[in-house]
Amino acid sequence: MKSKKRFLTALTVAVSLTVMAGCSNSGTNQPSSTDTGSAAASGSTSFNLWLGWTATTNNDSLVQKYWREKEPGVDVKLETTQGDAMTALNLKINTGGFEDAAIFGRNETVKSAMNRSKQLMSLEQYFDMPDKYPGLASIPKQYLELMKDADGHIWSIPTWFDQNPDDPWPGWASQGWTVRTDVLESVGMTTADLATIEGVEAFLKKAAEQKDASGKSLLPLSFLMDTNDTLSWSDENAILTAYGVTTGGRGVEQRGDDFVFAYDDPNFKAAYEWMNKMYLAKLIDPEVVTNKKEQYNEKNKSGRVALNAGSFWNIPTSTWETLDGPTEPGWFYEVVPFPKVQGVEKVGINQVVNPNPGYDVYISSNTKNLEAILKFFDYTLQPKPEQQHVINEGPVGLYWNWVDQPLGKWQFTDEAYKTSRNSGDAAQKAKVTPELYMAASYSNEWYPWWNTADGGKAGAAKTIQFTEAIGKMGSIRVAEPYDLIEMKAGGLWEKYSPEIENIRKEYRAKLLMAKDSGQFETEWTKFQEALEKRGHWSEVKQEWLASYNEQVKAGK
């Protein structure tokens, strides 16, 4: 991805992450600088780490044994959350707090609850001690600046961030157009013929005349209308992307001095008009609105679908990953660029890459094991491209090794480890690794699961090829400041977002299945009215813009 050196500078200005009033007193019992130095000198080599999610744990796993006996010489005892994380957190806080340290996915609700508890230790001094804690000192300063409260305190150790915020890892891009090349060949076309939306239409018409192995007519185009999806993650987004509509993040895109929300983009309507046109021409699966995920998966596995729009994870990837060659229809899937739509200068954004920390490690002000905690996370946060893999699977040469050269292909070298690791059984996997990759950081320089030589079947390589290809199609960008605006708790955005989502799901089906252009216009008008009446759309947008302006002003 193109480097965006202005990103975090602008983000510092635009996004105010100052914690709630009173947060600077979170650690009312916290040690002073002198006290913490004394605590760290106590020589403790063990601590309890509470995971803010449900997991199967085994505190004598091979990777944990390595941590304990070799590097960094710390015994990390994991405690997992049962049930709802916030319920568990509130219960823990109200019964004296966690023992040593806790790691949670970054979340404003968690952060507020942690800070209100007044049970935390402030940690800012440990990020400026390169001689003793070089890993902690290597954390990009942009991230740390955004974490400071009004008094300059930092209440957590950030983890799972991009080591290079100017050139971040693009993530597992998956929302695109996936075609069966065997069907293309059978109708005398190539992937180049799908470069335009008109070319796609021509292909769909020809594909409708083809039969599958059982003699059934092919479904020219399909996608999954999952009831659990959102504006930022739905299969229709691949079509909206081709029409230049941004759905990633909060579905907001800056154009000049203005901000355009997805539902206000004229091409949002145009994209659904095209879908309706294809549906009426019987070029979209007639059951697209009612398909359950299992039905959609089966239609793809059995070779019923010629072209898919949306996330290739939904197809699903096992359709090709279980194959060694062209023995099943799944082998012929291939992603193609978003088709060009007349009048659309560039595709929309359907994925926003946020290099900022994804997890936070909180330390109890009552811990007696501060040195062990700091020593462990100083180790996990070493700024090496392979460090996430080292934390997940152990150091290079122990259970895995490079196939050819460092930062190239890798494979497991310990068969017993590999067997348990890949068994699919949570208890067996927990015997070898706690999968604590999120305690580390990551880098675009090397991503382990795009470079494994242990892929099994030949088809497994296709998933990596697909995601890398989509990542270069222009539908992904690094987060801008306006993507990360903090909406006020209890505000209109929080109150009405669920209803706005309900409205989207209700009317996408009605727009898609409208019996003619007249009914489509009627449903579109009702959709706009529902956004205003039920979703308070104008007010929600006003609140968003006010929050944006306030946070920009606060950062000046």
For 514-533, what is each residue's pLDDT tens digit?
Answer: 999 999 999 999 999 999 99
Is the per-residue pLDDT at 306 higher than 60? yes
Residue 52, both tokens:
């803010």
Tell me how far apart the alpha carbons of residues 390 and 436 are, in angstroms, rounded to a whole number: 10
pLDDT at 202 over 50: yes
State the first-to-last Cα distance of the chain, in angstroms, to the nearest integer.
Answer: 29
Is the residue at 32 inside a domain? no
Q: Is residue 31 part of a domain?
A: no
Per-residue model confidence (pLDDT) at position 454: 77
Cα gap 166→435, rounded to integer Å: 27
For range 63-78, the mean pLDDT: 98
User: Are 253 and 303 found together in one domain?
Assistant: yes
Residues 417 and 375 in one domain: yes
In a shared domain, residues 291 and 337: yes
- Which pLDDT score is estimated for 21? 30
Angstrom distance (rounded) from CA 207 to CA 182: 11
Sheet holding 219-222, edge to edge: 219-222, 305-311, 175-180, 333-336
pLDDT tier, 554 (very low <50, low <70, confident <90, very high otherwise)? low
Q: What is the mean pLDDT of residues 497-505?
A: 95
- Segment 69-82 mean pLDDT: 95
Give the confidence band of 219 by pLDDT, cuts at 50, 70, 90: very high
The average pLDDT across 358-380 equals 97
Q: For 432-444, what is the HEC assignment?
A: CCCCCHHHCCEEC
Which pLDDT value is given to residue 171?
87
Tokens 């013929």 belong to: 193
Would you say residue 293 lies in a domain?
yes
Q: Are residues 158 and 252 in the same domain?
A: no
CA distance 255 to 325: 46
Phi-psi region of 233 (alpha: psi -120 to 50; beta: other; left: phi over 0): beta
Beta bridge partners of 253: 260
Give me the chain's average pLDDT, please: 90
Task: Give just the sign of the alpha carbon dihedral 501, 502, 506, 509.
Answer: positive
Q: In this structure, are 219 and 303 located in the same domain?
A: yes
CA distance 502 to 492: 16
Q: Which residues contact 346 (CB under 8 A, 6 or more apart)?
A: 244, 474
Kindly state the average pLDDT of the residues 500-517. 97
| Pick from 26-30, 54-58, 168-172, 357-361: least confident | 26-30
Domain that holds residue 509: 485-555
How much is the average pLDDT of 402-412? 95
Asked whether residue 217 is assigned to any structural domain, the reply reads yes
Q: How far apart are CA 273 and CA 245, in angstroms?
A: 14
Pairing of strands 252-255, 219-222: unpaired
Report the number of distinct structural domains present in the chain: 3
